[in-house]
Structure 1
Amino acid sequence: MYDQASKHRVAMVCAFDGWNDACHCATDVIHQLVSRYPSTEVAHINRDGYYDYQVSRPIQCNIQGYRRILWPQTTFYDIAVSDTFHILAEMGPEPNYGWIEYCQESLRIAREYEVSHVYTLGSMFADCPHTRPLPMDIMVNGEPVDEEYEHNGPIGIPQVLDASAEEEGYATTSLWVSVPKYLGNNDCALGTAQLLQALSRSMPVNLMTEHLENRAEQWRSHADIILRNTPDLTKYVEQLEREYDMREQARHITKQGSPAVEQLVSDAEEFLRGLPHDFSETK
């Protein structure tokens, strides 16, 4: 689709409203890219046959005194990150029907723009504390970066598109962030920031992420205020912090190898020797 005279590398980045977009973190990454770089709306996927309008309802608005109905649709943007690197961004509501055909249509547009790498973004609610880095799940060409990661259960259109792209020979990267479910579905700036930073690290160019750091800190400060005014929630988050720290310690020990494991056992035995003899009988 591009002229040979303006040849550059193209990566496709995809995010979808709905079940795969907790706190709008994934689609907000696309919004950030479109607003920060020269961007042009270049393609759409026809809405017919993909959406249940009782679930993804059209929106009525008035533009300069004229009524207009906006139907759910998928939009593609050409984002010029640099002279030698562009992003083809795909964003829209998760389709209700025809996922296989939808993915085929998405990849047809990817071929037109000579995409070499397909990135899919997602965010999900989880039991994780806002006071720690949010958990990230990353897969490259269908393989998890973290060997401990394994997902068995429902999936959304990002996973189906990732698998379809891999089957067609594309390099693929799947990036997901977990956000604290106890804070509700309001925008999570920290989740957006971590997704964008992870996307930047996996690309051949550095993306602009600094502008999100203040937003992320404000989000965390707001969450702190909620905690201070909700004692029961404070106890819950403290438990999540302990669980998070234990997992991180276990991961660190695994990387260190056998001597570190032996030291941990020794420390645990010393701790137990210091407990009262009737400790096991206490409740």
Structure 2
Amino acid sequence: MICAFEGWNDACHAATNVIHHLISHYDATEVRNIRSDAYYDYKSVRPVICHMDGTARIIWPETSFYDITINPSTHIFAQIAPEPNYKWVEYVRRSLRIADELEIDEIITLGSMFADCPHTRPLPMDELGFDPIHKVMDYDSSMRDYGPSGGCACDGPVGITTVYDAIGKEEGFDTTSLWISIPQYLSGDDCAQATLQMLRRLSDRIKVPLEEYDLPEKAAHWSAQASVLLSCNDELREYVNLLEKQYDMGSQLQILNEESRGDRLAKEVEEYLEQLDK
């Protein structure tokens, strides 16, 4: 099951738009929901009113669970909701009971955040798991895209996704968190590039091709708009040039570290084989 939450964990709606994309382009059925006043401050997450056939209807914040048919042999469950304001532990345990009812054993939470990264490079992505013994996020550097990112293990405030990962792991679920970084100087519109990259990583993760439809076109439009913004702002252009240099340097260092790690592993294997021959 993939999970995404509107709000603090969803910069430029990149994470929740992955689920919206899947719901819009595949056969999706809502199979469960959580509707409760206990989890939301309606001053922060306000209900909305809409009119259908001349009748007014209030739409309250709620959690929806979808069964998405990717192909005849592949189904993905998805959970989407505004981030709750209250009772996170109770909310997560209630969500996990639903996951258990649906016979789900793996949960992937999605998140996006603003960071110092350039739009002219692939947006940095991180994949993290939760270590239940030490109660910390376990950062897998081998699953990180090139470039500097703020999504790796760090100290500070957390969102509902981190709590979800922690409690899920404690209750026996295989949990993973995918995070993508978005340039903080482009904090206005939806970031289709981030959604596209997350969709591709998710496809790799579940080993099933996921249709992109118009996402590449939207991502190209996002990049073009960013380039226009830079052309009108010399100070911003200089800032992005600096970010590009930092990004490229980080990429080179990561490549060197991976090569060094590979050399060390080969040497250890060679020494082990030599000991067996003695």
**TM-score when normalising by structure 1:** 0.84
Alpha-carbon spacing, 1:209–1:140, altered in 2? closer, same or farther (3 Å): farther
The one-letter code of the counterpart of 1:237 is V
Post-superposition CA distance 1:130-173 (Å, at most 9, x none): 00010111014543221793221111001111111111111111
Amino acid corresponding to residue 92 of structure 1 in structure 2: A
How many residues are paired up? 248
- Counterparts in 2 of 1:62-77, with a 5 A limit? 62-77=51-66
CA contact (8 A) 2:123 2:182 kept: yes
Map of 1:48 onto structure 2: 37
Counterpart of 2:45, as a letter, is S
1:222 aligns with 2:233: no
Aligned to 1:281: none
Paired-residue identity, %: 48
CA RMSD of aligned residues (A): 1.7
Matched letter for residue 84 of structure 2: P
User: 2:219 and 2:158 mapped to 1: Cα distance?
Assistant: 28
Within-5 A mapping of 1:1-283: 12-140=1-129, 142=131, 143-146=138-141, 149-209=152-212, 211-257=214-260
Larger radius of gyration: 1
d(CA) in 2 for partners of 1:251 and 1:204?
25
- Confirm or deny: 8 A CA contact 1:141 1:171 kept in the other structure: no
Deviation digits for residues 118-139 of structure 1 (CA, Å, limit 9, x no counterpart): 0100000001000001011101
CA distance in 1, matches of 2:213, 2:201: 13
Question: 1:195 and 1:68 mapped to 2: Cα distance?
Answer: 34
SS where residue 79 of structure 2 aligns?
A: strand
For structure 2, the residue ranges without an aligned partner over 5 or more in a row are 132-137, 145-151, 264-278
- Unpaired runs of 5+ residues, structure 1, are 1-11, 261-283
> Which letter does structure 1 place at the counterpart of 2:221?
Q
Report if aligned partners of 2:180, 2:198 keep a CA contact under 8 Å in 1: yes
Secondary structure of 2:39's counterpart equals: coil
Secondary structure of the structure 2 residue equivalent to 1:49? helix
CA deviation string 1:59-109 (max 9, x = no partner):
111111111111111111110112222111100100000000000111111
